[in-house]
């Protein structure tokens, strides 16, 4: 259904890039620190979506059992690492914001 509206131009890659741009908009316009951390998270989601599409092969299966068509597992693996870094950073940023209130 969505494809018929967008004419096939809205692939997940494009959607990822749009998410990155939305996050950038948030970082440029919102002065609330928690909102900025959320904006950074939106950017990270966009990058993850973009990467996941990179490894996708039309009609491919998970590369667990040998089969004819498999998706490329590497980009998804890389994103696993990136997501772990993201979680750690988000919690640290929020802790930093909590400590900043009140103290100079």
Tell me how far, at minimum, the Cβ of 88 lies from other proteins, in Å.
7
Helical spans, DSSP H, in 30-63: 33-54
Pick the binder of other proteins from 29, 61, 67, 91 (CB under 8 A).
29
Which two three-digit tokens encode residue 27?
A: 């970082």
Of 2-10, 22-30, 56-64, the window that binds other proteins (rule: CB under 8 A) is 22-30
Exposure b/e, 40-50, CB count within 10 A at least 16 = b: bbbbbbbbbbb
Which two three-digit tokens encode residue 84?
A: 């772990």
Pick the binder of other proteins from 14, 24, 38, 70 (CB under 8 A).
24
| 99 touches other proteins (CB under 8 A) | yes
From the CA atom positions of the chain, what is the Rg in Å? 18
| 64 touches other proteins (CB under 8 A) | no
CA-wise closest residue to 46 among 26, 68, 73: 26
Pick the binder of other proteins from 11, 14, 75, 76 (CB under 8 A).
75
Of 2-10, 58-66, 89-97, the window that binds other proteins (rule: CB under 8 A) is 89-97
């Amino acid at each position: 259904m969505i494809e018929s509206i967008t004419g096939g131009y809205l692939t997940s890659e494009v959607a990822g890039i749009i998410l990155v741009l939305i996050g950038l908009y948030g970082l440029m316009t919102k002065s609330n620190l928690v909102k900025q951390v959320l904006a950074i998270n939106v950017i990270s989601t966009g990058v993850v979506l973009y990467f996941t599409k990179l490894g996708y092969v039309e009609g491919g299966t998970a590369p667990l059992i040998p089969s004819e068509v498999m998706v490329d597992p590497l980009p998804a693996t890389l994103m696993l690492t990136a997501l772990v870094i993201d979680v750690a950073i988000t919690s640290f940023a929020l802790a930093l914001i909590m400590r900043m209130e009140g103290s100079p």
